[in-house]
Amino acid sequence: MVSYTGGGGSILNVVDAAVIGRTRAIWVWRDSVGRWLGFLPGAPASIQGISGLAFGDLIFINATAAIGWDTR
The predicted pLDDT at position 71 comes to: 63
Q: Is 21 helix (H, G, I), strand (E, B) or coil?
A: helix
Range of the domain at 48: 2-63
Tens-level pLDDT at each residue, the chain (72 residues): 788 888 899 999 998 888 999 999 999 998 888 999 999 999 999 999 999 999 989 999 999 988 887 765
Residue 24 maps to a domain: yes
Residue 70 maps to a domain: no
**Phi-psi map region of 56: left, alpha, beta (phi>0 left; psi -120 to 50 alpha):** left
The predicted pLDDT at position 47 comes to: 92
Range list of β-strands (E), the chain: 2-3, 9-10, 23-30, 35-39, 52-53, 58-63
Single pTM value for the model: 0.85
Residue 68 maps to a domain: no
51 vs 49: CA distance, rounded Å: 7
The predicted pLDDT at position 72 comes to: 56
Domain count, the chain: 1
